[in-house]
Amino acid sequence: MRVRFRAVVFVSLMLAAGVAHAADKSEELRARLKAAAELSAIDGASMGPWHWKLDVSLADADGAKPSAGTLEMWFSGSNMLMRYSLPSEQMTVLRVGDKLYRTPGDVKRLPMVTFLQLQLMHPIPDQVFAPKATEAMTKEKNGTLDLDSITASLVKLTNEDGTAAADASLAFLLESGTPRLVMTYEAGSYRIIRQSLGGFQGHEVPTDLALYNGNVQVGGARTTALDVLAPDAQVFAVAPEMIPFAEPLEASSDDVLRMALSRTPPEFPLDAKKRHTGGTLVFDVLIGRDGHVRSLQPTGIADPALWKAGRDAIGTWIHRPFAINGIPFEVKTKLTVTFPVAN
């Protein structure tokens, strides 16, 4: 691997806003964002076989309970092997064609590892190129580094009249005038900073990656080895102890929040406001392989108007698919909405 770009250091947490380009630049911006997606993704059909090893650190959403370990991946076309080792969990996940296998054991950390894997291998979600997505650009500056911030707005058409029921924006910061991806602002409070980049097989990979939730660092990955993988069928052989991967994958609300592309807040029903009725509602939610909510059921007891408002909001939320070794999975989780009561 040849290192081509280093030391992208971000001191400030919010970048100064610039002047938006005209709307007729949208197609040009989309083409540039696609170029950035192609440059930063190393899981495409054009990639030769590779092996990637990283030192990683993962923490809870508030930065608590940090743990350090390793992540190792082998890739060849439709086959992929991922092995991670953390103090609390070790697992090997193997993809052979469209089949997925894993070693037995706890999968509590797998959703977080999956999020990290996506940021390493495929950082720009395919959803930003949906027909109804739109792009806009602002100029940013951080120290001596000039950046172009391309914002992609997503919508989900769920209303009977075809109007948008939800929208959200993701910002991708590129080095000015190039397709080089430097940082991503997710729809929630997550930021992914590609602190140094390296060239590999005509693509660019993060050799030092940092994950932030607000101001708190919740993860990171630093490359220790990246090289071309010599053909070896034994690398992708299904070991006797491996079991088929079963759906749905259970994930915490924090795990799902990391994958959020759109989370429009619910509208507080006027009659509930007048009655000073509020509270936190919890839903059992199934997220489909495409990242859209497939089903949701309320748990507990609450005001019917609040249940409807919460259900209508969550039903529009869009998430990045939980793709493990490139295969998307359904996810089962609990999601909450809160209606604060004013005195």
Query: What residue segments make up the domains of the chain, in order of their start?
Result: 2-244, 249-339
Per-residue tokens: 196: 């140094």
Burial (CB < 10 A; 0-12, 13-18, 19+), residue 306, is: buried
Q: How far apart are CA 229 and CA 244, in angstroms?
A: 25
Helix (H) or strand (E) holding 306: helix 304-314
* Phi then psi dihedrals of residue 156, to 5 deg: -125, 120
Query: 2-244 belongs to which CATH class?
Result: mainly beta
Selection from 175, 155, 150 nearest residue 165 by Cα:
155
Tens digit of pLDDT at every position of the chain (343 positions): 544 434 343 333 233 333 333 445 778 888 999 999 999 999 998 899 999 999 999 998 888 888 999 999 999 999 999 999 999 899 999 999 999 999 999 899 999 999 999 999 999 999 888 877 778 888 877 777 889 998 887 765 444 444 444 556 789 999 998 999 999 988 668 899 999 999 999 999 999 999 999 899 999 999 999 999 886 778 999 999 999 998 999 999 999 988 988 888 899 999 888 888 889 999 999 999 999 999 999 998 888 999 999 999 999 898 999 999 999 999 999 999 999 876 5
8 Å CB contact between 258 and 112: yes
Burial 171-193 (b: 16+ CB within 10 A, else e): bbbbbeeebbbbbbbbbbebbbb
What 3-state class would DSSP assign to 169?
strand
The tens digit of pLDDT for each residue in 19-52 reads 333 445 778 888 999 999 999 999 998 899 999 9
Q: What is the DSSP string of 76-136?
A: ETTEEEEEEEETTEEEEEEEETTEEEE-SS--TTHHHHHHHHHHHH--S-GGGGSTT-EEE
Alpha-carbon 64 to chain mean position: 20
Please say whether the beta carbons of 187 and 263 come within 8 A. Answer: yes
Indicate yes or no: pTM above 0.75.
Answer: yes
The answer to whether 144 and 124 are in contact (CB under 8 A) is: no
- Whether 249-339 and 2-244 are alike in CATH topology: the answer is no
Fold of 249-339: TolA/TonB C-terminal domain (3.30.2420)
- Residue 239's pLDDT is 95
